[in-house]
Amino acid sequence: MEEHLKDVWTASAAVEGLQVEMDQAETTLDAAIDAALKAGAAPEEILVTANLSPSELSERVPALALPDQAAEESDASAL
């Protein structure tokens, strides 16, 4: 393999490895959020702790309805 193609292959492999790590981290985060909710943590505490917006938390936990999410969606549709 030519040197410039090796660089492409190396960079591509690095991206793929990071994507796998991201997938694993998101799975771990989802499990931690689920456990926190089951333990009685308030969704607002989870938002702050995980640095998530209401819509991001709702994407991870679709059954969870957050009051701020409706306002966020309304603001987004006004743009």
Domain boundaries, the chain: 25-78
Mean of all residue pLDDT scores within the chain: 87
Q: Which amino acid is at 40?
A: G
Is residue 24 exposed (0-12), middle (13-18) or buried (19+ Cβ within 10 Å)? exposed
Threshold 0.85, pTM exceeds: no
What gap in Å lies between CA 65 and CA 58, rounded to an integer?
7
Q: What is the pLDDT along the chain (79 residues), one digit of tens a residue?
A: 898 899 999 999 999 999 999 999 999 999 999 999 999 999 999 999 999 999 999 998 888 767 655 555 555 555 6
Is residue 43 exposed (0-12), middle (13-18) or buried (19+ Cβ within 10 Å)? buried
